[in-house]
Structure 1
Amino acid sequence: MRHVLYQGCKYRFYLIGPSSTFVTTAVLGFAQLACALLVSKKKKNVKTDLGNDIVWLLFAFLTVITIRMSLILKSADDLFRENISLNITIDYAFTLLAVFYMARYSLKAKKAMDREAEMRHQAQYSYKNLKQQIEPHFLFNSLNSLDGLIKTKDTATASSFVKKLSRLYRYMIDNENEPLVYLEDEIKFVKLYVDLMKVRFPKGFDVVMDLSDKGYKHFVVPCAIQLLVENATKHNAITTKNPLTINLFIDGDYIVVSNNIIPKETSQPSTGRGLTYISQQYLDKAGKDIIIVQDKESYTVKLPLI
């Protein structure tokens, strides 16, 4: 419907209603926004580029203006055409206002998506970087343990060791790109790791698990519990006189990994990379952070059950 805004002897004009302007702009603009976000989601490691944003908004604005002006001219009568410049100016102003609000929304949505993609990229990079450091170190120690079994001609234990080592690496490969795994599967993986570590430390190392079957149906970040067990063996002295004991149990909505502290005579400061990776993963997947409690005698990490 057209509304008469002003009528005089010489100047008269009509304006298509503001509601029509906003509806048309919103439909066209947000349709283009949806396409832009869809394309961005398919790209990895997307970063907000101000230049690209300006080009996209300019394209959206020109498209809206072109179609709106075409509709105005097509539906205008002779009287309307006499005042076309004023009509276009007013309609242009309403369209510009609508595009402004659309631009604010689109930029906020795109930046939020960019932040999410950046967090995923950082977490994935941290895991790969961490994995590259852990695997060679663990494999080196495992081969040394296997060599010791071969020298003592303990073929049965050596054969079992190789099979468990193979299953452990198979689990890591199969779940490398999995965001979450069942707690039950993760515990089986941890038990394999503990069995291998006990070959290296036959005395002075023990892992006590007090887990109920109900907790097994929850999810955890893959390799998170194993990383905590490995950190305990790495940063503590393991001797028969002062054994290292690691306790795994469920406390409410958390699985707890706790160990006694046995300082090494010479120890390197921890980089905290493993805990940073685990924390990022839980924040990303569950919106919850891990809980770390440390005193003079024990070190405890609580992982949320998802």
Structure 2
Amino acid sequence: MNRKSFIIVLWISFFIGTFTFIFFTGDKTVSVYFINLFIAVLYALTISAGNGMINDYLSRHYSWVEETRTRAILGIVATVLVNVVLILFCNYTNLVLFQKMEFTGFFSGTMGFANWFGINIALLISAVLHAKGFIEEWKKSTRKEIVEQKLIAKSANAQFESLKNQLDPHFLFNSLNVLSALIDENPSQAQHFTAAMSKIYRYVLEQKDKELVTIEEELDFAKTYCELLKTRFEDSVNFEFSINEDNRKLFVVPLSLQLLLENCIKHNFATAQKPLNIKIYANNGFLFIENNLQQREQMKESAGIGLANIVQRYSLLTKQNVFIEKSTDFFRVKIPILTQKITAMTPQPSEESLAYDRAFKRVKELKGFYGNLISYCLVIPFLIFINLKTVPEYQWFWWPMLGWGIGVASHALQVFGIGRDWEEKQIRKIMEKEKQSNN
């Protein structure tokens, strides 16, 4: 117990002791007043210290966030056992040692009722403290998760911007290399290439800041780019496009086809006798870029931009992977086709929102359960008191106590029991199916 908690307990003891002295004590003397204060401190310190130790021990070994059900069940069991022992100890000290009552009647009559009533009050206070601890722990965890998600989002955004900024110089460098080769080989074609390159570069500037573009836009750009490649390589390179209309409205990362086409040209030789055949087609949710393998014997070390850029950009947008397949005859790259237009940061806020919704729902469930438990602990002792004071020969309080008790137990099973695990598993299955269908 820290200093602040100790001071709060002393103030509570002071008010309780003063209240009982004023309204429930017949002998108004200073000594009796201090006895009342001592008894109040005895109960308050014993109960608060005992429950605080149990709560701290369980919180160190069982997390409210990660092991909610285990923490709640052990908390309930430990709280009941500890509070029964603490109340019996306090009542024995107060009633038997100070008030000199006979121990033979400790578990019956007035002292028996005092034990029962004290245990219920202690359990009520403990339930409130445990609920407060759970809410504070969950809030702390939620705030931490929000901060982490914001940091992840900022990092991912910076990484995505860095990847997109690679596209401008990369395209310009490769285009100038092609233009340089054409100037020597075919000056008139070089002039045509320069005019076409300005049109293509305009597309690069327009699309590079987007997270996704339609396959139709990307195909139109790729066909124009392929015409420029045909200008240089003529019959040495052949292109085949096979994309149906349904897939044309779906999405891929921008400039992915251009980077992959460059990759094919860069890593393979092409001659009129052995042309390089490049196929672009869609199948089973993927866009395929495939070429017959005619790998160059000597290659300069790659700058690591083309294919690596696409892989990294997809990793920031979706959990679907980019697949690379290579054999002795062909080289194939499969990039995922996405069914909805998203932004790079969409996964982060959605996870944050889902985490908050789960926390809010969980807190609401536990708040309802603890409210039910607190009401039970308050009302039932009151009904027992009324029953024993009015018609002690007929103990009707057992019926509401048992009936309501079964309801509280059912509520606890619903919040912490097997049914919740089954429900969460079904929710996860449905979410995974929806995610797979969307992608």
TM-score (norm 1): 0.64
Deviates more, 1:258-267 or 1:275-284: 275-284
Deviates more, 1:116-125 or 1:227-236: 116-125
Pairing 1:124-139 to 2, within 5 Å after superposition: 124-129=161-166, 131-139=168-176
For residue 39 of structure 1, what is the aligned residue in structure 2?
none
The Cα shift of 1:95 comes to 6.4
Aligned partner (choices 146, 149, 162) of residue 109 of structure 1: 146
Aligned partner (choices 182, 186, 205) of residue 173 of structure 1: 205
SS of the residue corresponding to residue 202 of structure 1 reads helix
For residue 272 of structure 2, what is the aligned residue in structure 1?
240
For residue 156 of structure 2, what is the aligned residue in structure 1?
119
Identity %: 23
Q: Does 1:305 align with 2:340?
A: no
For residue 192 of structure 1, what is the aligned residue in structure 2?
224
CA distance in 1, matches of 2:288, 2:280: 6
CA distance in 2, matches of 1:137, 1:252: 32
Q: Does 1:289 align with 2:318?
A: no
Letter in 2 for 1:162: T
Letter in 2 for 1:275: L
Distance 1:269 1:298, change over 3 A: farther
CA distance in 1, matches of 2:130, 2:257: 59
Task: Give the conservation status (yes or no) of the 8 Å contact 2:241–2:280.
Answer: yes
CA distance in 2, matches of 1:98, 1:181: 44
Task: Give the conservation status (yes or no) of the 8 Å contact 1:255–1:302.
Answer: yes
Q: Does 1:257 align with 2:289?
A: yes
The Cα shift of 1:249 comes to 0.7
Letter in 1 for 2:161: Q
TM-score (norm 2): 0.46
Q: Does 1:141 align with 2:178?
A: yes
Distance 1:254 1:94, change over 3 A: closer
Q: Greater Rg, structure 1 or structure 2?
A: 2
Distance 1:259 1:179, change over 3 A: same
CA distance in 2, matches of 1:176, 1:212: 25
Task: Give the conservation status (yes or no) of the 8 Å contact 2:278–2:289.
Answer: yes
Cα deviations by residue, 1:135-189 (Å, 9 ceiling, x for unpaired): 2232232244256433xxx4xx555433321110000001121111111110111
Cα deviations by residue, 1:40-87 (Å, 9 ceiling, x for unpaired): xxxxxxxxxxxxxxxxxxxxxxxxxxxxxxxxxxxxxxxxxxxxxxxx
CA distance in 2, matches of 1:297, 1:116: 41
Letter in 2 for 1:123: F
Aligned partner (choices 283, 298, 317) of residue 266 of structure 1: 298
Structure 2, gaps ≥5 residues long: 1-11, 22-35, 45-127, 339-439
Task: Give the conservation status (yes or no) of the 8 Å contact 1:257–1:300.
Answer: yes
Letter in 2 for 1:120: N
Letter in 2 for 1:129: Q
Task: Give the conservation status (yes or no) of the 8 Å contact 2:208–2:255.
Answer: no
Task: Give the conservation status (yes or no) of the 8 Å contact 1:175–1:222.
Answer: yes
Q: CA-atom RMSD, angstroms?
A: 2.9
Q: Does 1:219 align with 2:251?
A: yes
Aligned partner (choices 263, 268, 273) of residue 231 of structure 1: 263
Count of aligned pairs: 222
Letter in 1 for 2:322: I
The Cα shift of 1:262 comes to 0.9
CA distance in 2, matches of 1:173, 1:147: 28
Task: Give the conservation status (yes or no) of the 8 Å contact 1:123–1:277.
Answer: no
CA distance in 2, matches of 1:236, 1:128: 26
CA distance in 2, matches of 1:230, 1:158: 18
Task: Give the conservation status (yes or no) of the 8 Å contact 2:324–2:334.
Answer: yes
SS of the residue corresponding to residue 245 of structure 1 reads strand
CA distance in 1, matches of 2:129, 2:243: 67
Cα deviations by residue, 1:96-116 (Å, 9 ceiling, x for unpaired): 764443222111121123123
CA distance in 1, matches of 2:245, 2:179: 31
